Amino acid sequence: MNYIRLQIKALWLKVSIWVGSLSILTILIAFMIGELYSNPFERMNMRMAMDSPAMVAMAGPIPPGDFTEAALFMVVTVLFLGLAYGLFNILIANQVVKHEENEGLTELLIASGIGRKALFVNHVMVGILINIPFFIITILGLTLVNVNGSEFIDHVVFISAITLFGLLFYALTMAIGAFVTTSDMTFGIALSVLIGMYLYRAITDVVDISYSVVSPYHWLSRLDAYGGNNIEWLIPFSILIIFFAIAYFVTLKRDVGDGIIHPKVTHRSRNISSYPKLLFTQSRMLIIAWFVALIVTGLSYGSVLEDIEEIMANNFIMNAAVQAGQIDNPVLFFISMISIITAIISMFPGLMIMGKLLKEERLRLEWMSAGVDIKRINPTRIIITHIIFAIVASIAAHALYAISLYSMTLLVEDFPTEPIDYVYALISEGSVIVLMIGLVTLFYGISYKMFKLIWPVIAFLFIISYVGTILQFPDWLLNVSPFHHLGHIFVDGPMWNVIVILYATALILMIIGVMLYRRRDIQNG
């Protein structure tokens, strides 16, 4: 059995889950738009809502020309789908390239006769192969739905852009992995670029759209696949060839298992006398990086608040939406929507800390359990330690965002928020953060193989929380998102009964997950 076939055998389940989830969701959105927005007047109302600064920051600018059902479909899906699909490619590239290298498999393959060049080509081929199913399935599904205002070539252009976006981040992850030593660092940097480019585009699209041209998300939003078909915006994606070339030359130059960039380590004796200290030491840089990212996010969004207030005050479309009762307070609506975005982003440090259990389980857990007093270090204590660290890291990250955003509101005269509003937001949205950590604990308690299911869940949550509300999805589908039950915190205030239920549900999931983890075979998952 050759290398490619072995990779397909190892990846088919994960790829099937991701491709199935994203393809079905994309096709479902297209179908729902066809059912709900066939009336031109309804689409015009939607265009008015989507043309506000808050929605431009989330979904991108409205393309010129007729706002058909197909054009609406592209606007509400293109950026969110790109974000989710980029994450999928990062995860696969990190597993194929860096996990294999860190676990010694790459060195073993080279020793068995596979040359470095051949191995690199195989890695690139895996990246291409994992993107083909999404390309074919989604195009066929959209063709069958046949949204008004679309043709087959439009679907091809749209899905080609999403596929190239994903392959771009596959190549970027390979390039990053060639420079750094660990899979954790590779994933963290690649994910930071994926999210950072989205946030950068969100801010620049509101302030001055010309500045956002360096972001791959801008290329997606300017494509106008179901209108002008500006296929010249596919050309910038050719930069992925440069990333593949960089990865190729750096990989051939360095030693297997090594990296070009080495984090500076201060060699001093450290008194690591407990597992919590060990976990903190291992997670310290990850936590600091995410804290800085959330602070920058809060300051960045806060820096445009004064401009947004002025734009909204003079924007006849937003005024019409307010008078129609669609939005009570445009500024608070914007703050609420951005707060939900950052709540989802804040989940990542916690989920990554939970993900470190995979490494402990494979490398050290049995050895630690055998070499120490079982009362001090055992699987139950270890998973509980990860849960506590994950909750603290994610809640603290979201709190730092709220503090940095509020500090910027002080520069805006008569801004309609108070410190208590941000406290309520932290408590409210923190319940969803803790719920997701509870869910990943349950997954991990069942099997370490189920841990990775949390990523498509987060992607689904992200899309439903925004696109579902915008498109007026049926209640049964909107109810899947906990954020839907919490409402927009700065507009609706805290829903205390829902908050209590979410925290209680999270606790129950954690307890069940820990109990299952205690009983399962750690070595075999």
Task: Return the axis-axis angle of helices 275-303 and 305-314, rounded to nearest 10°.
Answer: 40
Q: What is the pLDDT of residue 142?
A: 92
Q: What is the pLDDT of residue 170?
A: 96
Closest CA to 382 of 294, 304, 275: 275
Q: Would you give the DSSP letter of residue 95? A: I
CB-CB contact of 339 with 429 (8 Å):
yes
Q: What does each C-alpha distance from 446 to 185, 345, 375, 384, 519 come to in angstroms? A: 27, 25, 24, 15, 9
Q: Assign residue 493 a region (left: φ > 0; alpha: ψ between -120 and 50; beta: otherwise).
A: left
Q: What is the pLDDT of residue 479?
A: 81
Write out pLDDT tens, residues 255-299. 665 556 655 544 454 555 577 777 777 777 778 878 887 887 787
Share of the chain above pLDDT 70, in %: 80
Q: In Å, how far from its chain's centre is CA 139?
A: 23
Separation of alpha carbons 38 and 296, rounded Å: 41
Q: What is the pLDDT of residue 449?
A: 76
Both structure tokens of 491: 């507009």
Closest CA to 158 of 240, 208, 228, 239: 228
Both structure tokens of 223: 């494509």
Write out pLDDT tens, residues 43-59. 776 777 677 666 777 77
Q: Would you give the DSSP letter of residue 212? A: G
Q: What is the DSSP string of 244-301?
A: HHHHHHHHHHSPTT--S-------------SHHHHHHHHHHHHHHHHHHHHHHHHHHH
Q: Indicate if the pLDDT at residue 248 is higher than 50.
A: yes
Average pLDDT of 506-513? 94
Average pLDDT of 503-507? 96
Q: What is the DSSP string of 193-208?
A: HHHHHHHHHHHHHHH-
Q: What is the pLDDT of residue 226?
A: 85
Write out pLDDT tens, residues 459-503. 778 777 766 655 566 677 778 889 888 887 887 888 999 999 999
pTM above 0.75, yes or no: no
> What residue segments make up the domains of the chain, in order of their start?
1-34+75-263, 273-525
Burial 123-151 (b: 16+ CB within 10 A, else e): bbebbeebbebbbebbbebbbebebbbbe
CB-CB contact of 207 with 226 (8 Å):
no
Q: Indicate if the pLDDT at residue 87 is higher than 70.
A: yes
Both structure tokens of 281: 């030491």
Average pLDDT of 198-215? 84
CB atoms within 10 A of CB 406: 19
Both structure tokens of 41: 């007047």
Cα angle: 136, vertex 141, 146; to 5 degrees:
125
3-state DSSP: the chain helix, strand, coil percent, rounded to 5?
80, 0, 20
Longest CA–CA separation in the chain, Å: 71
Q: Name the burial class of residue 316, with classes exposed (0-12), middle (13-18) and buried (19+) by CB atoms within 10 angstroms of its CB.
A: exposed
Separation of alpha carbons 80 and 86, rounded Å: 10
Q: Indicate if the pLDDT at residue 506 is higher than 90.
A: yes
Looking at the chain, how many residues does it have? 525
Write out pLDDT tens, residues 429-441. 999 999 999 999 9
Write out pLDDT tens, residues 328-384. 666 777 788 788 888 988 998 898 888 877 665 555 555 455 545 445 567 788 888
Closest CA to 388 of 291, 276, 293, 500: 276
